[in-house]
Amino acid sequence: MSHPYRQQPDRAFWKRTVSPYHPMDVGGWYEKRFSFADRAVATAGSCFAQHIGRNLRKFEFNYLDTEPAPRGLPEDKRLDYGYEMYSARYGNVYTSRQLLQLFQRAFGTFTPKEDYWERGEGVVDPFRPTIEPAPFSSVEELRVQRKIHLESVAELFRSADIFVFTLGLTEAWLSREDGAAFPLCPGTAGGVYDPDAYAFHNLSVADVIEDMQGFIDLARGVNPDLRFFLTVSPVPLMATATDAQVAVATTYSKSVLRAAAGELYQRHDFVDYFPSYEIITSPFMKGYFFEQDGREVSPHGVAHVMDVFFSQHEVPAGTEAARRVAQGVRNPAPQILPEISEAERQERVRCDEELLNSFKDDEA
């Protein structure tokens, strides 16, 4: 008897793809839809996206940085000021709503009513409140820096060939006045929380698809050949504003984001999906790639994810990784992130969401 399953490859069957193998030897994770070779690549998203950008830089891909650090800023201080985290200085972009509005703000089609938040003796940008270690001294200084930043974001979208975005969260804090989406709850990194001014909204699958489709349409309106490379962050929520237990809230959030990414992949041949989420969190991985806190992804996990990436996207010729591959070393990625100290680990990824945990710790 003939039926569709008889024509499926081995990777379509659990018994042939997963059961016979050690988790590290499971293959068939991903086949690229388009190449990164000779294309300008930009990154944004939640904290996990920083790993992708860092490895693209390390292996000398054509990585865009339209808002580079000033010459006088020491290398070990750049992350403190939001440089080299992503392709522009927007900090972590956790939600689809943030991404859509970032594009709209960069091209002047949306100007939020909320201009600044007070913090201490200065002010911070509500849309990147932790981008510098200390507040701006004045609203005027903030506005000058914001203008430079948004011009850099506009240049990024005009110049990129591939835009990498890691979907991180569904939980969003919005202005009741104009719907502006903030990366953090007002009052945590600046401003004052007012329930009459701000609303919590947990994005649905329909919300995320609508936001992302709107963003894609706008971005390709200014850059018709732009392609999109989507991932879902495997990092669980640090805290939830819902009534659910945090692990339950995490499952909702990641399920929504994964479903939305899958729908966008099915709709458009210029959208690729890379399964970093599945590689880290699949049950047969038995939590191997998480640190003891069950949340942070270990260097080995990041290396394995990038190993899968590099198995499809060859590193540019002339790099050390390319020489290793030419010498018969199958995967360069295990050398990407060696064992590091706790201090170095804290420096490696900047994650605003960590602030949410500290507030509860303060109450204990």
Q: What is the pLDDT of residues 26-61, one digit of tens each?
A: 999 999 999 998 899 999 998 888 888 999 998 899
Query: For residues 99 and 37, which has the higher predicted lDDT (pLDDT)?
Result: 99
Q: Strand pairing partners for 157?
A: none
Q: Is residue 304 part of a domain?
A: yes
The rounded radius of gyration (Å) of the Cα atoms in the chain is 21
Q: Strand pairing partners for 201?
A: 172
- Read off the pLDDT of each residue in 129-142 and give the average, rounded to a whole number: 96
- Read off the pLDDT of each residue in 152-178 and give the average, rounded to a whole number: 98
| Cβ-Cβ contacts under 8 Å for 231 (sequence gap 6 or more) | 45, 48, 49, 52, 164, 165, 166, 167, 261, 273, 274, 275, 276, 277
- Read off the pLDDT of each residue in 134-160 and give the average, rounded to a whole number: 98
- Read off the pLDDT of each residue in 296-311 and give the average, rounded to a whole number: 92
pLDDT class of 220 with cuts at 50, 70, 90: very high
Statement: residue 328 has pLDDT above 70: no
Per DSSP, the three-state class of 126 is coil
Q: Is residue 65 part of a domain?
A: yes
Q: Report long-range pairs for 194-199 (Cβ below 8 Å, ≥24 apart).
A: 198/173, 198/174, 199/173, 199/174, 199/175
End-to-end CA distance of the chain: 65
pLDDT value for 36: 94
- Read off the pLDDT of each residue in 194-200 and give the average, rounded to a whole number: 98
pLDDT value for 320: 72
Q: Is residue 24 part of a domain?
A: no
Tell me if 139 sits within 8 A of 203, measured CB to CB.
no
Statement: residue 341 has pLDDT above 70: no
Q: Is residue 19 part of a domain?
A: no
pLDDT value for 95: 97
Q: Is residue 233 part of a domain?
A: yes
pLDDT value for 315: 87
* Residue 163: half-sphere exposure toward Cβ, Cα within 13 Å: 28
**Mean per-residue pLDDT over the chain, rounded:** 90
Q: Is residue 12 part of a domain?
A: no
Q: Is residue 72 part of a domain?
A: yes
pLDDT class of 246 with cuts at 50, 70, 90: very high
CA distance 173 to 169: 11
- Read off the pLDDT of each residue in 112-123 and give the average, rounded to a whole number: 96
pLDDT value for 354: 57
Q: Residue 92: count other Cβ atoms within 10 Å of its Cβ.
A: 28
pLDDT value for 323: 73
The full length of the chain comes to 364
Query: For residues 26 and 337, which has the higher predicted lDDT (pLDDT)?
Result: 26
Q: Output phi, psi for 343, to 5 deg.
A: -65, -45
Q: Is residue 160 part of a domain?
A: yes
Tell me if 170 sits within 8 A of 203, measured CB to CB.
yes
pLDDT value for 351: 61
What's the number of domains the chain is made of? 1
Tokens coding 222? 């200014």
CA 178 to mean position of chain CA atoms: 25
Percent of the chain topping pLDDT 70: 88
pLDDT value for 335: 40
Least confident of 45-59, 68-82, 152-166: 45-59
Statement: residue 78 has pLDDT above 90: yes
Percent of the chain topping pLDDT 90: 80
Q: Output phi, psi for 100, to 5 deg.
A: -60, -45
CA distance 354 to 58: 26
Statement: residue 249 has pLDDT above 60: yes
Task: Print the domain residue range for 91.
Answer: 35-363
Least confident of 249-258, 330-339, 355-364: 330-339
